[in-house]
Amino acid sequence: MAHNNMDQDILKVLITEEEIRRRVAELGAELFEEFHDRNPLFVGVLNGCFMFMADLVRASGLKSELEFIGLSSYRDATKSSGVVQITRDMQRDITGRDLIIVEDILDSGNTLAFLSKYLMSKGARSITIATLLDKPSRRQKAITADHVGFVVPDEFVVGYGLDYAQVYRNLPYIGVLKPEVYSK
Ligand code: IMP
Ligand code: MG
């Protein structure tokens, strides 16, 4: 029996499991350098962050806390509408906290522009953005991440947390979907 019935939908692998593992270890080390004398609060953006968050917090080795926020950008198939909504809010007070936002991909920047403003309005002391992927060619908002795993070209990618219509999040690598999968 095949162990995976998703590979057949992938046009090409952009970033392998091993490349992700090595890069996440480096990002974790960067965060440890920066935050080891603070007690940062990681804020993961659901659902895309879940795999990266799990690996990054372990790689950081930081004495820290975790929170999650659910955001939806009214994404229609593969494009963002620019309107961001909170679908699940954080469960506690973040006043005076040093936050590390953990996001799967920084694309138009609408999500992170909204989230940064929201978190500052809730009294955050500082905000640091860690994103696994960055697609700078598609930016609409003046947002840059402080820690970037990989810069990717303007292609729709899935895997390692990223979805197409909620599927493919559990692929262990980052890949580009075959065009026929969209048009089905
Ligand atoms: P932004 O608001 O346009 O920066 O988009 C942010 C969100 O859109 C990300 O958190 C992803 O959930 C989703 N997204 C953007 N590009 C891709 C992609 O290539 N594959 C899968 N999801 C994406
Ligand atoms: Mg996301």
pLDDT over 70 percentage in the chain: 94
113-170 pLDDT, tens digit each: 999 999 999 999 999 999 999 999 999 999 999 999 999 999 999 999 999 999 999 9
CA atoms within 13 A on the CB side of 7: 6
pTM of the model: 0.95
Q: Which of 76, 77, 48 is nearest to 182 (CA)?
A: 77
Q: What are the tens digits of pLDDT across the range 9-59?
A: 999 999 999 999 999 999 999 999 999 999 999 999 999 999 999 999 999
Give ligand 1 pocket residues (Cβ under 6 A): 48, 73, 75, 80, 103-111, 156-158, 162
- Mean pLDDT, the chain, integer: 94
- Each domain of the chain, given as residue ranges in start order, spans 18-70+84-154
Atom of ligand 1 nearest to the CA of 138: 3
Contact by Cβ (8 Å): 84, 72? yes
pLDDT tens track for 66-83? 999 999 886 665 666 778
Report the separation in Å between the CA atom of 36 and the middle of ligand 2, taken as the mean of its atom positions: 27
The CATH code of the domain at 18-70+84-154 is 3.40.50.2020
Strand partners, 66: 42
Active site includes 107?
yes
Which residue has better confidence, 112 or 74? Answer: 112
Alpha-carbon distance of 103 to 52, in angstroms, equals: 8
Determine which residue's CA is closest to atom 17 belonging to ligand 1: 156
